[in-house]
Amino acid sequence: MPASTTMTIRISPDVKDKLGRLAQGTRRSRAFLASEAVEAYVDRELEIIDGIKRGLADVAAGRTVPHDEAMAELQAVIDATRGGRA
């Protein structure tokens, strides 16, 4: 079993009640479900931050396409898919 640590958080009584209902319905503890929820949130937010940093690095390195060029390329694909019909 991986090591863990204890952390105290404050949540609204409504969220605590919902978490209790979920725990009862899934036969898991509130602590287990809260831990999974925090882990999923942190992973998702870090992915977003990492993506933003990669995007900023691309901009700094000049690895970008001007908006007008990107839109023209997308429109060409749309037109080709429609058989040239507008």
Residue 83 has a pLDDT of: 84
- Which positions of the chain have pLDDT values less than 50? none
pLDDT at 79: 94
2: which residues sit within 8 A by CB, 6+ positions away?
Answer: none
What's the confidence (pLDDT) of residue 1? Answer: 62
* C-alpha to C-alpha distance for 53 and 48, rounded to whole angstroms: 9
The pTM score is 0.72
In angstroms, the CA 22 to CA 29 distance is 9
Question: Which pLDDT score, from 0 to 100, does residue 2 have?
Answer: 75
pLDDT value of residue 84: 59
Q: Residues 6 or more apart from 64 whose CB is under 8 A from it? A: 58
